[in-house]
Structure 1
């Protein structure tokens, strides 16, 4: 017979399970956008957004936070955003250079985090305010374009162009910020280790 504490312990993994389910939505999202089924893609995005809110709420409300959850949650967001931007590019909705910026920034961060982990120590994800603003702008841009492509919200072309440039500027700024901040952290950690 399982005790009440064992039962509560099993529930601790629910936020991570929800995050993994969100990662599983990447493939259907790409397929739907590639096949120009934008209304259905919007539903998938809405489900992903709701699951993101739910796993965060559960983790905070019940103290079900973990290092794995701290890694999986931003990873799920990044995979969905990158998949959205690549798919929207293939659908002709955004320029290729913006996709390269978005994907390139995330690759630089991933490579930097991996290098830090193996050369310096464990990486504790700490998204900066600039990073959060960048993610927010990327989400707004992807959603606005999906809403426009689906015919739900016909936006003027000037809005598209403004969102594209805002995302580009924020993406570059946050990428440079990550490189500078984590380079200083690595240098300080190595200095402490050698002292």
Structure 2
């Protein structure tokens, strides 16, 4: 994530929040599957970028209110459903910020007592990414802030191997259709 290019990041935040707002107004919900999952991912990404830019939950919610205000003259149903939209966004943004905080605490706990400029094993970074679900951008950003690093090449080898295992597992479970 390039925090030196904030204008592009602002557009990403605005586009992701606008998409979520319109979908919520049209009856979608944050869910673990289907379009609700996509909405969760959009808000998670907007919140993560906001975190990198030091935005609070309140900042993201103010952006959301402004998006509703600007677009409601053309789409009046946004104003009619504003309370429902904002309630859902508050919950999802706060959930994501809590996840980010917990994730950075996990990383800090692991790094505690290690000297600055320590290279964190790629296996540990991969565990955080693959098992704990911590976005790689957050891991990279947080490690850099704490003056730690890891080997991206080793991480990519682990990721490639994991993808191959998944592919083989799916292939072995295919049932012949007659």
TM-score (norm 2): 0.32
Q: Which has the higher contact order (CA 8 A, sep 6+)?
A: 1
Instruction: Flag the structure with higher helix content.
Output: 1
